[in-house]
Amino acid sequence: MILEGEVGVNIAGIPSCDIGNFSLILDARGFFEPDWPRKDSSAAMKFIKMQGAGNDYVYIDGFRETVTDPSALAVAMSDRHFGVGADGLILILPSQVADVRMRMFNADGSEAEMCGNGIRCVAKYAYDHRIVDQKDIRIETGAGILTLQLFTDDCDRVSRVRVNMGKPRLSRSEIPMAGAPEEQVVGAELRVLDRTFEITCVSMGNPHCVIFVDDVDEFPIEHYGPAIENHPLFPRRTNVEFVQLLSPTEVRQRTWERGAGETLACGTGASAVTVAAVLGGHTERRLLNHLRGGDLEMEWSKDGHIFMTGAAVQVFEGDYQPQ
């Protein structure tokens, strides 16, 4: 595999669009070898690496590239030692019902319905590459069509995105969870390993199990996260959010993502946390959520919709050539 990317250089006081980029070639071991002979690039696939609050994905433009086995490609490219390194793979595709369509694959190759941080980066790519030219757009996902508002910098590149994440789904059948189909799970007890947790479960188009803890930084998420993710209560597995309450308007979140393990952020998870915190009487309807990769501004509006605002950042772009 060869990564041949263009890495942007940021210099204080100068817009990034006015600064030239430089190229690098990395071999499969990650060593810089400027004189290393290049392979035939005809089989290479162009990609872009982007992140939202540290939730990083490899993105492929399906308007220009063809991916025949996205699950296998997600596993290969997401590998942080032998691939590009990411939480997963997102395809940016044409849509018959919206401006663009996204498909998301976790690092283990499983396909997920949606990614809140990922969809902001899809919107950035679509606008910055002029797939769309308006700042209010619609994106088709496995969880339905979402609307987004784009905010641009001095170079007319998207820097922040506000996403209407839709209405939360609270019944067991919608999440999905085993049990009475119409029952909501708010503050219910769940025994896992050696501990009993109070859980609130929410679907934002994908399943989430929210647990409030006293000290989220010290909590052993790697111990309990996999056990809850794969608990038989959740037939499609679940994402798990561990949350510390800081004030009525502020929380700190860590996420164990289904199919990916702990990630630095989860936008649908932050949406679920907002719902769980309000339903539990812990917070107001507007929150600042501190995640390990950055902050997200959250709001559960009176009409029932969840709104999430956060950054969308390009890391680098390049060519991927499988071995």
- Which residues are marked as active site? 115, 266
Q: Which of 127, 141, 117 is nearest to 311 (CA)?
A: 117
306, 116 contact by CB (below 8 A) = no
DSSP string, 190-241: EEETTEEEEEEEEESSSEEEEEE-S-TTTS-HHHHHHHHHT-TT-TT--EEE
- Distance, CA of 240 to CA of 257 (rounded, Å): 6
Q: Which of 240, 212, 210 is nearest to 226 (CA)?
A: 240
Find all residues with CB under 8 Å of 229, minimum gap 6, and list them. Answer: 237, 238, 239, 240, 256, 258
Handedness of CA 304, 305, 309, 315 (dihedral sign): positive
Q: Which residue type sits at 230?
A: N
